[in-house]
Amino acid sequence: MNAAELPILSIMLAVPLLGAVACLFARAEMARIIALTATLFNLLLGVWLWASYDPAGAQWQFVESAALFGPIGWKLGIDGISLLLIMLSVFLMPICIGASWRAVTERVGLYMASFLLMETLMIGVFAAQDLMLFYIMFEAGLIPMYLIIGIWGGKDRIYASYKFFLYTLLGSVFMLLAMLWMIQQAGTADIPTLLNHDFPPEAQTILWLAFFASFAVKMPMWPVHTWLPDAHVQAPTAGSVILAGVLLKMGGYGFLRFSLPMFPEASAQFIWLIFGLSMVAVVYTSLVALVQDDMKKLIAYSSVAHMAIVTVGLFTFNQQGIEGAIIVMLSHGLVSGALFLCVGVIYDRLHTREISRYGGLSINMPKYALLFMLFTMASVGLPGTSGFVGEFLSLAGAYKVSTWATLIATTGIILGAGYMLYLYRRVAFGEQVNADAAAMPDLDNRELWLLAPIAAAVLWMGVYPESFLAPIRRDVATIVDRIERAAPAGDSKLKEHDKTTAKYRVQAHGGEHDKKAEGAAH
């Protein structure tokens, strides 16, 4: 049966929402089971959705439309890009529930409800086809996250959620104003229609900046990134997984869905800004990651560096760069999620994130060490893992636009290797210096079941990325077609028959060898 025969997107929004309501009134154990069932069911629906999605079919599939009030409509529909981001969300969700199974003991019902609500809102963000609907989902998604950090967070959760709040609020106000102006101008809130609406270039600049304010914070881009390390450090493990795994992708999705196709001229005009901030971010945050003593902070900073590769890729205006950026988003969602789970595993045992409290875990936790190594390598972008495919494509795309930006952004592969291997060494290698760390048991079955599927996905995406590239190929091409008119020329222009560099070439090849050989022979 084809999923298109049902309002499948609405069902996928409703399942977790109903689950959330049920969780509110359930006891702890029951709430866990409801949450797991609901998320697993949604995962199944997601798989069905993916299987029913036709990469060669209409641009927007599974479209649903119903009038709400005024200009706001209940319009849902997905293209390949939305599909993959929805898949990422529904894939990580059961893992988050599993990761919280024993770690969360207080107000379990509310906790599970928050996660389920978040799932609804995340899917909503990626499926919304109405500007206002998108806005509601986009902003409301922060409320459950805010609760998760604020209630089940660590010692400094107050400060962390304050920062989180302040940054996001600032951005979203500008975005809301811009959206209202757009609806008024274009006379519609329908996203597919707006995608082909040409706003005047002068207006584009302002609109682009307003959206940028919101998306740059979400990414997060340097220098509005400082909320992220604090939010991660304070959030419970599953909160970090969702934050890094899906919430950070909303910024990239926003750039891709709105900034680029709706304001191509303005996007081209601001390449210098995006590339400049991204170049700073790669070097700056990588170096900061190198000196961290707190595992979660280290991974949080590394996320900023990886997201900078996404922004570089998105603004290359070519197929490779944008496809690469999407793959980096998916890969980072899996890998950083897995890395936060890895931190969670040992945090649950020793209740500290301080790197120096561990050491020599390869000895007592070999399974853990192996999986942690795999995710470390994926984060470093080793070919054969998901990290490589995305990074390689984004940077390949970037080379066309700016060799400087590519050079600086590619130094991330050196610095990334530095901080990740340095982290791994301090945690898993060396002598067992702390008796309590040395006594920690290896992964139990539950933990193995959380990490193994991610490991499989990481390798799948690294070895056969076609499964993930096929659904987005046509949609990226559509965007590239749309923005091509503004595409930058790039700084690696070829000049045929250039005499000025002739001295570097081999002249009249073989001739000289000939002479010498003959001369010697006679």
Interaction with another protein in 295-334: which residues (CB under 8 A)?
Answer: 318-320, 323-324
Please report, as residue ranges, which positions from 100 to 139 form the binding site for another protein (by CB under 8 A): 132, 136, 139
Beta strand 61-67 with 73-78: parallel, antiparallel or unpaired?
A: antiparallel
**CB of residue 210 vs another protein: minimum separation in angstroms?**
13
* Closer residue to another protein (CB): 48 or 174: 174
DSSP string, 380-427: HT-BTBHHHHHHHHHHHHHHHH-HHHHHHHHHHHHHHHHHHHHHHHHH
Among 14, 44, 407, 439, binds another protein (CB under 8 A): 407
Phi, psi at 385, each rounded to 5°:
-110, 165
Among 36, 176, 186, 195, binds another protein (CB under 8 A): 176
Please report, as residue ranges, which positions from 431 to 460 form the binding site for another protein (by CB under 8 A): 431
| Alpha carbon distance 416, 306 (integer Å) | 9
The sign of the CA dihedral 317, 60, 460, 364 is positive
Closest CA to 74 of 137, 16, 32, 163: 137
Specify whether the CB–CB gap between 276 and 334 falls below 8 A. Answer: no
Among 227, 253, 275, 358, binds another protein (CB under 8 A): 227
Which two structure tokens, joined as six digits, stand for 315?
Answer: 């603004």
Stretch that binds another protein, among 79-87, 113-121, 164-172, 264-272 (CB under 8 A): 164-172
Q: Report the run of H or E that residue 379 belongs to, with start and end.
A: helix 366-380
Q: Is 413 in the site for another protein (CB under 8 A)?
A: yes
Specify whether the CB–CB gap between 192 and 60 falls below 8 A. Answer: yes
Among 54, 58, 403, 444, binds another protein (CB under 8 A): 403
Among 186, 206, 417, 459, binds another protein (CB under 8 A): 417
Stretch that binds another protein, among 37-45, 210-218, 450-458, 502-510 (CB under 8 A): 502-510
Note if the bond before 453 is cis, omega within 30 degrees.
no
Among 11, 24, 140, 273, binds another protein (CB under 8 A): 140
Specify whether the CB–CB gap between 227 and 171 falls below 8 A. Answer: no
What letter does residue 294 receive in the DSSP assignment?
B
Among 248, 279, 377, 437, binds another protein (CB under 8 A): 377
**CB of residue 506 vs another protein: minimum separation in angstroms?**
5
**CB of residue 265 vs another protein: minimum separation in angstroms?**
23
Among 75, 218, 353, 400, binds another protein (CB under 8 A): 400
Among 124, 264, 465, 471, binds another protein (CB under 8 A): 465
Please report, as residue ranges, which positions from 250 to 279 form the binding site for another protein (by CB under 8 A): none
